[in-house]
Structures are given as C-alpha cells and as structure tokens.
Amino acid sequence: MKYRILFFAMFVIFAAMKSDKEAFELYDANGKDVKYDKMIKELLKADIVFFGELHNNPISHWFELEITKSLYDTKKSDLVLGAEMFESDNQLLVDEYLDGTIKTKNFEAEAKLWPNYSTDYKPLLEFAKENDLRFIATNIPRRYAALVNKKGFEGLDSLSSEAKKLIAPLPVNYDPEVNCYKSMIEMMGGMGGHVTANIPKAQAIKDATMAYFILQNWEKGQLFLHYDGSYHSDNYEGIVWWIKQANPKLKIRTITTVEQDTINPMSDDFKNTADFIIVVPSAMTKTY
C-alpha cells in the first residue's frame, strides 16, 4: 500500500512540475513539437544555419549559445560563427581580440558594440575565443546603410575602393518584389512619418553584405552559424534570398524566435516562418 501511495505522490509531483509555467516551446515549420536533439541533428546537415533572434529576448540569446555549443561538439573547428551585430570594418578588431593581440578593455572601447553586447553577444564571442573559432563581422558599416537610405544604391558609387571592400560587390541585384522589402514601406507607412523607396534598399544592402561575407568565409565541409534579427532571415527571405541567388545548391536551415501570449499551440501565422521556431511567452522579461 505504501508503495502505491509513494508512486501516486511522485506522479502528482511530476504532473505539477509539468504544469509549471514554461519559458519556451520548440516547433518545426509545421507547428509540431520537436525535440532539441532532433533539431541539432538537422542543423548539422546544413552548410549555413541562420538564427533569427528577437534582439531583446533572453531566450533567444540563451538558445544561441546552447546551439553553438551543441554544433561545436560535432563540427569543432569546422564551425564558423558570424553576426549581424558586428560590422565589417570591425573585423580586424574582432580577429585581434580572438587571437589575443589586444586586451578586452581595448576591444570593447574601440569596437562598435551594441548596448546589450555584454549580456547577449559577449558570451558568443568568448566561446569563439576559448575554442579558437573564427567569428565573422558580416554587417555593412552603418554609415553606408545610412547613405543608401539617403541616396539609394547610387550613393555607394562614390565610395573609395577601400570602402567598397566593406560591402557587397556593386551593383547589387535588388528585387523590390521580395516580400520582406515590399512590405517594409507598407509596414512603416502605417507607423506614420516619411517613407521612401530607399528604406527597403537600406535593408537590402545590409542583407546583401551579410550574405556576401558569409559566402566569402564558408568552405565546403564547414557549418556557418549566423546570428541575426529574425526579419533578416524569416520566411527564407532577407539574407537567405541573397545566399540562394549566389549559390542555390547550399543547404540552408533557419531558426526564428516569436512571441505569443500562450506558447502552446503555435499560431498558424508562424507556420513556415523558419525550419525551427522558438515560441516564447509575450510576458518574457526583456534584456533592454
């Protein structure tokens, strides 16, 4: 009898634990629950993996580090990291920091770091440093994206040859009908303010540049893991679209992060947004 009581007590405790509030749920593209290990096995088959984060979401940042560790366990030195959060003109600083040429205080004083760097991106860079991994600063220098926003792609023509090394080769093959660009004007127009055709072009030059530096730093047999805001890779558009234009044979897998009031089930609105979708409660604490 006492064993039945003990078993029942354990069952009640387990049931209570299962009913506790959960921080996330992981789904596949069709909205079906998927195990973390199964996702990792699928990601390891890819040439390039895009992790689309919500910049202020702590679950995104925790997952980025955990996935990086898991992929490294198999790929070792064949894992290459890269991020939107580092601009191409800071690549030398990143390299010097990773190889120990400069100290942390010098790197952090001179690099253009996001305000949440210390909590959200420093752990990724430190992991690369500890494990002798390459970390690629893929994004266009913000001054050049601002130039496109002001003058269109033509504004880049006057740049020096040295400056042009920091961006995607010109001219870029921009398609205004790609949904992520086409919808930007409508979306931003609804927020009020002056909206021009250059706004999606500024987004596109970021995507094109990130795609360019990913491809420049990937070799067959390697896995390139790229961290970016989800809008840059959701729906297999953004950076993914540019990658596919350059090399359609590459095997690409995507991850995105979304928020819902309740994390189960996943809303149909998010189906096929990415290969794997992390659903987080809308009430989750923000990092800034």
pLDDT at 57: 97
Write the pLDDT tens digit of every residue in 234-283: 999 999 999 999 999 999 999 999 999 999 999 999 999 999 999 999 99
Task: Answer yes or no: CATH 3.40.50.11550 is held by domain 24-281.
Answer: yes
Residue numbers of the chain with a pLDDT score lower than 50: 1-17
Assessment of whether the complete model's pTM goes beyond 0.75: yes
pLDDT at 3: 40
pLDDT at 17: 44
CA distance 49 to 157: 32
pLDDT at 19: 52
**Residue 193 near residue 170, CB atoms below 8 Å:** no
**Residue 139 near residue 88, CB atoms below 8 Å:** yes
pLDDT at 193: 60
pLDDT at 208: 98
CA distance 256 to 96: 31
Structural domain boundaries in the chain: 24-281
pLDDT at 195: 74
